[in-house]
Structure 1
Amino acid sequence: MIARIIDWSVRNRLIVLALCLLLLIGGIESLFRLKLDALPDLSDVQVIVKTDLPGQSPQLVEDQLTYPLAASLLSVPGTKAVRGFSMFGESYVYVIFKDGTDLYWARSRILESLSQSTGKLPAGVAPTLGPDASGVGWVFEYALVDKSGKTSPARLRALQDFYLKLELQSVPGVAEVATLGGLGRQFQVEADPARLAAHGVTMEQLSQAVKDANQAGGGAPIEMARAEYLLRSNGYLKNPSDFDNIPVQTDAGVLRLKQLASVTTGPQQRRGIADLNGAGDVTGGIIVMRHGENAMTTIAGVKERLEQLKKGLPPGVEIVTTYDRSSLIERVVHTLRDKLLEESIVVAIICGVFLFRVRSALVAIVTLPLGILAALWIMRVQGVSANIMSLGGIAIAVGAMVDAAIVMIENMHRHLEKQEAHDIWVVVRKAATEVGPALFFSLIIITISFLPVFTLSGQEVRLFAPLAYTKTYAMAAAAMLAITLTPVLMGYAINGELPPESANPVNRFLKRLYRPVLNVALTRPRATLVLATILLATAAIPFSRIGSEFMPPLDEGDLLYMPTTLPAISAAEAANLLQRTDAIIAAMPEVERVFGKAGRSDSATDPAPLSMLETTIMLKPKSEWPIGSSKNNAELIAKLDKTVRLAGLTNSWGFPIKTRIDMLSTGIRSALGVKISGPDVATLENQAKQVESMLRMLPGTRSVFAERVQSGRYIDVEVLREDAARYGLSVADIQRAIQMAVGGESISTVIDGRERYPVTLRFPRGDRDGLGTLEEIRLKGAGGSVVPLREVARLTIADGPTELKSENARPVAYVFVDLSDADAGRYLEQAQKLLNEHLVLEPGYTLSWQGQYMNFKEGKARLWSAIVMTLLLVSALLFLHFRDVRKVVLVLACLPFSVIGGIWLTYLLGYQLSVAVVIGLIALAGVATEFGIVMLLYLDQALEEQPGNPYSAILTGALLRLRPKAMTVAVILGGLLPVMLSDDAGADVMKRIAAPLIGGMITAPLFSLIVIPAVYWLALRPSAASVSREALA
């Protein structure tokens, strides 16, 4: 079949060229339309359900909102996990779906489930869905800074909420604009408890009076003088003075509000704080990108809109970019683009050196851009974005892509040197059909070898599937071009007299080096086989010592500092710690800017408590770092970790994208952690503390922190039901009075044009800061009697949860582990052994390890199983090709011998075993299989030409294979060398993939050039015993 395709291509040359021209045009067009991103979207499909219950404790939020919602959402089809977060006044339920679930289908299923759950929730509570964004949707962040000192913090917050936010939300691709930090303005009605008591007025009466005074209305149209007039009545409150004359009905008559309370404007209660460079409070914004959108296009649209909006800002107010993922995307894409160009140049030079003819080299090179463009075309159709992994798949395929063309061109040279025919197309057809079928089959084997990657699941398949797709597409395109375009181009470009192979000094040197080694191997085949086996056994040394990791570090260009402090921290103390740590980090010479966050932004994608600090660190370009400063991120993190040491903080360092992926995927913000599940929150905290103390002493632990679930401080109000009943007061009456007096209940809204500000009612700070003052809160009992709270309730101080977490409706507590040792596998073995021996879990409690490394362990097991199945498939295909079990075994023997060099180089470079390394080994195995197939092809052809002298035939066939083999090895090494020498964005991941390939290019050629001929001769020798070896002379 392949021979017929080659023959058709040679006869229909113009059609082939026209089709390749269409491929060129389509590929170039796709090049400009591809979606660009730094990484594939590694996050799970998630739907967030956010529900507010203002003023209520985490335990009440858990009981009334989170638990009933989580329990009902567990039954939604396709659900993988349901994680609940109960905080002060807010509930978050994250529903994580299985891979392949359509986000908008999932959102509709959640809405259906919520419609059936509303009866289980408190009256007036309405759950809402979070934005239709992925877990890594935070693509751009900014801060508003006033350098003139004339714009108040409240005005800056208003500019963000009512100007920038509304405009940016209309940018295509933006799902949400979340406000962070700043001082939100509110109208505060502070009632004087003494005056209320003196006039017998309750908080409920004040609340109703304010609501009645802040109204607008209208009526039916009125016709006057042949015109229609619309009736309107505007009674909106505008400023604090408007509140003063609000009438309040009392038993003694009508009072004005100013006689009972004072009205001011002030900041809203904060659950989120932002800081820039340690200079103090700022207002920030977070751009959350819609699921499936083009990150580069979305960010460009946001930047363009911000430039337009800057003109409308007050003088002195500036917008400062604090995080911009497009810079990472540009660096990743430019790095890989440059590497592809460098690889192509290196490949062209190598082809020219070995073939000693420019036009021959150009024929081999032409298939490279066409194959790449074909892969890009398919990527665009499939919707795969151009990122470090998808472009990396093409980068590691470059050498193998031109291998088939090299072998075919080299065979063409050999036929032309023999001057076999005057018609060039006859020579082309003969040369191409001789090696074409085997080459096509080899490339198909290389393509099939990547099937195990698609058996991965979860984050592993989302990370590496784009690489496998693009490499598969590139290799498939190269295979088709090798049997269609390459023969046509050979006929047009390779003609006339060619310099003989012996005229090339490189070829002469290689043959002079190879011939005596091959003679020794053929003379002593058994000794050669024993020596090869010993060499194979040496691979046990690096295998036993090499560590393991999930994903190599990706240099995102920015760092994320996420320390943890005690949960009971106040907003003021959190702001103080945030400002101090930011100032320390900003002073580092490698740092350009830091943007810190304590608590959460106004987004359902950010369920962070005040105790969680996050500082995004924008680094300067490495060329601007101080002379002598290490350019290694790990060393910079170690330096920062030693510098930022404050009492009460447990440091944790990472990268913005990677950390958010970890948090979404496993529920923890570190690569490794422990999850403890059980019914009682206090017991969970105790067990988590035990784990923390044990792991802290374990070598390799940089930091460990167990969540303090019960570290919150509470003032418990216990209603004395009998006393309350005597005064005619219900529990609801008492709780509502407390909520209004202390909690600052929002009772109305001031409408000022497009701006909206809440109106809150409560006691002044001095009347709600202690038990004594709280006990004097007045309640109106039956018959108009006024009752102090102490008469109907008992107030006590107690500990309780500041935040409650659950997974699948079961309470959980986490222990976060940050490792100083990169070998997560060995650390995990030691940690598991330590906990198994010393930790005693209470009945009903379970412990499990979480984090991305656990995903790697599961993925690695699936990967090895799939590799075994793929080897069986490849073996079957090889048997169909050769129809000889001995040859199948000989080709498969190339695989372990190629792995020797790959494992040794990986170990010597200090890399850990990861999925990336395994991907490199899989790619190496495919190339090694091709080496074996083509070597056997040359040996078989030589044996057919010299059937009477097999020894001489084997020697001749092996020598014929030397030049194309050397070219293939040089091309692959030359193609991968730029990747190994790079320190740019994405290089750490690509180096792990390239290292096994480079190491294998040392041992795999040696096996195919030396061991395969020796074993081939050993298998034939009994039947050739009568042949004299003197025929060699």
Structure 2
Amino acid sequence: MWSKITEVSLRNRLLVIIGLIATVIIGFRMFQTAPIDVYPDINPPRITVLTEAHGWSPEEMETLVTLPIESAMNGAPDVTRVRSSSAIGLSLVFVEFEWGTDIFLARQMVSERLLLVGSNLPEGVDTPIILPTSSLLGEILEYALIDESGEELDPMELRDIADWVIKYRLQSQGGIANVINIGGYVKRFQVFVNPERLVSYNISLEDVAHALEKSNDNAAGGFLIKDTHELMIRGLGRISSVSDIENVVIDVREHNIPILVKDVATVKIGSIPEIRRGAGSRNGEETVLGKVVKQPGINTLTLSDRVVSELETLEESLHEGVKVEVEYAQANLIRRAVDTVKEALRDGAILVVIILIIFLFNIRTALITLTAIPLSLIIAIIVLLWQGGTLNIMTLAGLAIAVGMVVDDAIVYVENIFRRLQEYFHLRELGNQTDETPTQVVNRASDEMRVSIVFATLIIILVFLPLFSLSGIEGRMFRPLGWAVVISMAASLLVALTVVPVLSDLLLGRVRDIPLQEPSLTEDRGRSKWFHRLFTPFRNLLVRWRLFVVALAPKSDVESALTLQPVVMWIKRAYRPILSSVIRLRWFVVTIAFILVVITISAIPRLGREFLPVMDEATFTISVFSPPGTSLGESTRIGREMERRLLEIQEVTSVSSRTGRAGADEHAHDVNTHEIVVNFIPPDEREKTREDLLAEVREMLSTENFPGAQVSVGQPIQHRLD
């Protein structure tokens, strides 16, 4: 079967060349539009249910809200785990399904079960909601609103801009699961009731609340048909201003005298600092922070570029002096990581080129061999993207690993084909005629190496097969690396069986590589003078070099010198005495090898273990836990003091922090917790390493400087994976 593949390829050379060109074009187009991410999709199908009951303690939330929802979710089809977290006024239930479960089917099953349990929840509990589907590494961008107008805009106005302008504009971009804002103050109508006036009017607080609740609604009144016209009747009662609330009727007394809200209370627009559960700051100043969470399977780079472009457009329509500053962008890390892997691929390809030219000592053979690298990688990329994968660090790392291996098949094939053609042309120069054609020589040379190449490639593929047995998050993380290597190796075998023989026949099978005598005058008679002047010196140089190599060879190696390349011949000559010595001392060599194996095996338990190597993300995520019971105001003061300290580090560009939790956020942080994001100069632009900066930050935020605070320093993506 394998020999037929090469024979068919040699008979259909034009078809093989067309297929090669088409593969390169298709692969290039797919690469341009390929989704790029930092890691493979490692998100299990997970549904998050959020329920709020304002003012309830964690114990009440756990007993009366979380437990019933958890019980309803247990036993649902394909559910593997149900986790929960309860905090003040907040319940979060995480329902995880089997890998491969359709996320929309999972949401439907959770929704159906919520309908059964929702009616049994106590009064005062909000309706449970299913949060938008997001990914584990879905927090792709964070931004901050900065007031540079000099008018010192109220934090409430900044929050108003974030909630009613920026959030909706960003969500319209598509691919965004949620936009979460924190900080500032949420604008509310506030009714401050005077207890003394309530007593004087003999009205209870419940009467005021009931009147406000029933007065904030519109009513439908049907239609009024008048002649040929139809008019809609509406009762407008929706509150839209302070005066509307002030004129709400609480009760009607004697002589039809109404008691209005303004008679017993003061109405304002504002927010009470004591009731908010989260705050945001940047560089030690109060501000509003936003976080963009993407949907699973969305191209992070493309979405980030759209979001940044939309934020820049929004700045032009915002209040003069209000800027939107991007604090963290996952796309920057992805670009740095992908560029690093691309550089490794480039450097590896360059080294392969140099080695090929040195050892093969022929430009045409080197060019033929080099086609295996891009062509095999292009085929691998096409298959990976066709399977629904992404270009990420793991797939690119697999391609980088394969760079040195995909060229092996082509090297062995080309070297043997080139050697057989050299022998063929040398025999013809000596006058030994043969019925073989160069194409048949290429086919025969391919047959000689085919079995070895096939088995060598299959062995390499078998080495990576255990990666496919991994399950869970480990399997989702490392399978793409295995697929990249396996597909690249299979593609290299296909290229060696088809493309390499065809190119060898076209480029090597038509002319003698290097003649072994000076060109005669009759050979150049038909050529033009300019071609003669250009070609003859170069050809004579190659001839003299080849004759020099032959002259260096001993008499027994003249035939080898005529068919082998100079470097290969010299290596063989140097290797012979070494091989003889090794054979004489074979037991000594075996003993040394055995000792080295024992040392290697004994060193394995002492090696460090890590799920993934730590990258320099140029951003630190610092989790700070103040003592339980710390108020939001005190927590905010501690966080801002830490921000100012961190700004003293020369390599820091900006610092932002979140205290507590934002609305509709699945992270159930209490007001005594902070999440500080510290941005540094990119790694290639600073002298300090990540470890140096880590030590400096930990020393700066130690318990000696901040008593009672527990500090944990990590990086955004590392923090999410841990």
**Alpha-carbon distance in 2 for matches of 1:446, 1:22:** 28
- Structure 1 residues 261 and 172, CA, compared in 2 at 3 Å: closer, same or farther? same
Secondary structure at 1:120 match in 2: coil
Q: Deviations over 1:618-637 (max 9, x none)?
A: 22123443xxx42x212211
* Preserved CA contact (<8 Å) 2:360 2:366: yes
**Alpha-carbon distance in 2 for matches of 1:8, 1:311:** 64
Of residues 411, 415, 434 in structure 1, which corresponds to 2:448? 434
Q: CA deviation at 1:302?
A: 1.4
Tell me which residue corresponds to 1:622: 683
* Preserved CA contact (<8 Å) 2:253 2:259: no
- Structure 1 residues 179 and 218, CA, compared in 2 at 3 Å: closer, same or farther? same
Q: Is the aligned partner of 1:488 residue 2:502?
A: yes
Tell me which residue corresponds to 1:80: 80
Tell me which residue corresponds to 1:208: 210
Moved more, 133-142 or 212-221: 212-221
Q: Is the aligned partner of 1:455 residue 2:469?
A: yes
Moved more, 410-419 or 389-398: 410-419
TM-score (normalised: structure 1): 0.61
Secondary structure at 1:551 match in 2: coil
Q: Deviations over 1:645-671 (max 9, x none)?
A: 312211111111221233xxxxxxxxx
**Alpha-carbon distance in 1 for matches of 2:623, 2:218:** 48
Tell me which residue corresponds to 2:154: 152
Q: Is the aligned partner of 1:661 residue 2:721?
A: yes
Of residues 563, 575, 585 in structure 1, which corresponds to 2:636? 575
Q: Which amino acid aligns with 1:264?
A: K
Q: Is the aligned partner of 1:270 residue 2:276?
A: yes
Matches within 5 A, 1:860-1009: none
Tell me which residue corresponds to 1:356: 361
Tell me which residue corresponds to 2:390: 385
Tell me which residue corresponds to 1:129: 130
Moved more, 468-477 or 119-128: 119-128
**Alpha-carbon distance in 2 for matches of 1:212, 1:66:** 31
**Alpha-carbon distance in 2 for matches of 1:529, 1:218:** 96
Tell me which residue corresponds to 2:325: 320
Q: CA deviation at 1:508?
A: 4.5
Q: Which amino acid aligns with 1:310?
A: E
* Preserved CA contact (<8 Å) 2:171 2:178: yes
Matches within 5 A, 1:484-563: 484-495=498-509, 496-498=512-514, 502=561, 506-563=567-624
Of residues 692, 695, 701 in structure 2, which corresponds to 1:638? 695
**Alpha-carbon distance in 1 for matches of 2:667, 2:322:** 27
**Alpha-carbon distance in 1 for matches of 2:45, 2:249:** 54
**Alpha-carbon distance in 1 for matches of 2:471, 2:27:** 30
**Alpha-carbon distance in 1 for matches of 2:283, 2:333:** 21
Q: Deviations over 1:467-518 (max 9, x none)?
A: 1111111111001111111111111222413557648553354334321121
Q: CA deviation at 1:227?
A: 4.6
Identity of aligned residues (%): 31
Q: Deviations over 1:829-860 (max 9, x none)?
A: xxxxxxxxxxxxxxxxxxxxxxxxxxxxxxxx
TM-score (normalised: structure 2): 0.87
Q: CA deviation at 1:613?
A: 1.0
Tell me which residue corresponds to 1:50: 50
* Preserved CA contact (<8 Å) 1:394 1:471: yes
Secondary structure at 1:651 match in 2: strand
**Alpha-carbon distance in 2 for matches of 1:577, 1:328:** 29
* Preserved CA contact (<8 Å) 2:421 2:442: no
**Alpha-carbon distance in 2 for matches of 1:207, 1:515:** 100
* Preserved CA contact (<8 Å) 2:180 2:664: yes
Q: Which amino acid aligns with 2:353?
A: A
**Alpha-carbon distance in 2 for matches of 1:385, 1:616:** 28
Q: Which amino acid aligns with 2:80?
A: K
Q: CA deviation at 1:250?
A: 7.6
**Alpha-carbon distance in 1 for matches of 2:611, 2:485:** 21
**Alpha-carbon distance in 2 for matches of 1:545, 1:204:** 70
Tell me which residue corresponds to 2:187: 185
Q: Which amino acid aligns with 2:692?
A: E
Q: Deviations over 1:979-1024 (max 9, x none)?
A: xxxxxxxxxxxxxxxxxxxxxxxxxxxxxxxxxxxxxxxxxxxxxx
Tell me which residue corresponds to 2:90: 90
Secondary structure at 1:402 match in 2: helix
* Preserved CA contact (<8 Å) 2:180 2:665: no
Q: Deviations over 1:569-593 (max 9, x none)?
A: 2111121122111222233111112
* Preserved CA contact (<8 Å) 1:48 1:604: no
Moved more, 525-534 or 13-22: 525-534
Q: CA deviation at 1:396?
A: 0.6
- Structure 1 residues 237 and 127, CA, compared in 2 at 3 Å: closer, same or farther? closer
Q: Deviations over 1:495-542 (max 9, x none)?
A: 413557648553354334321121022234333322322232232453
Q: Deviations over 1:535-575 (max 9, x none)?
A: 32232453243222222112223221112222312111121
Matches within 5 A, 1:615-764: 615-625=676-686, 629-630=687-688, 632-645=689-702, 646-662=706-722
Secondary structure at 2:276 match in 1: coil
* Preserved CA contact (<8 Å) 2:74 2:82: yes
Secondary structure at 2:218 match in 1: strand
**Alpha-carbon distance in 2 for matches of 1:20, 1:508:** 34
Q: Deviations over 1:86-130 (max 9, x none)?
A: 122221101122322222221122112222223432257421111
* Preserved CA contact (<8 Å) 2:208 2:250: yes
Moved more, 351-360 or 146-155: 146-155
* Preserved CA contact (<8 Å) 1:42 1:661: no
Of residues 488, 493, 499 in structure 2, which corresponds to 1:474? 488
Secondary structure at 1:490 match in 2: helix
- Structure 1 residues 216 and 532, CA, compared in 2 at 3 Å: closer, same or farther? closer
Q: CA deviation at 1:387?
A: 0.8
Q: Which amino acid aligns with 1:21?
A: I
Moved more, 387-396 or 223-232: 223-232
Q: Deviations over 1:31-70 (max 9, x none)?
A: 1121011122333321001112222111111111101111
* Preserved CA contact (<8 Å) 1:199 1:250: no
* Preserved CA contact (<8 Å) 1:436 1:482: no
> CA RMSD for the aligned pairs?
2.2
Q: Is the aligned partner of 1:590 residue 2:595?
A: no
Q: CA deviation at 1:233?
A: 4.3
Secondary structure at 2:621 match in 1: strand
Q: CA deviation at 1:131?
A: 0.6
Tell me which residue corresponds to 1:257: 261
Q: Which amino acid aligns with 1:605?
A: E
Q: CA deviation at 1:156?
A: 1.2
Tell me which residue corresponds to 1:36: 36
Q: Which amino acid aligns with 2:265?
A: A
Q: CA deviation at 1:208?
A: 2.0
* Preserved CA contact (<8 Å) 2:282 2:657: yes
Q: Which amino acid aligns with 2:281?
A: D
* Preserved CA contact (<8 Å) 2:16 2:498: yes
**Alpha-carbon distance in 2 for matches of 1:562, 1:145:** 24
* Preserved CA contact (<8 Å) 1:43 1:661: no
Secondary structure at 2:614 match in 1: coil
Of residues 370, 386, 389 in structure 1, which corresponds to 2:375? 370
- Structure 1 residues 590 and 51, CA, compared in 2 at 3 Å: closer, same or farther? same
**Alpha-carbon distance in 2 for matches of 1:310, 1:178:** 19
**Alpha-carbon distance in 1 for matches of 2:8, 2:238:** 84
Structure 1 unpaired stretches of 5+:
663-1033
Secondary structure at 1:122 match in 2: coil
**Alpha-carbon distance in 1 for matches of 2:571, 2:606:** 36
Tell me which residue corresponds to 2:141: 140
Secondary structure at 1:616 match in 2: strand
Moved more, 543-552 or 48-57: 543-552
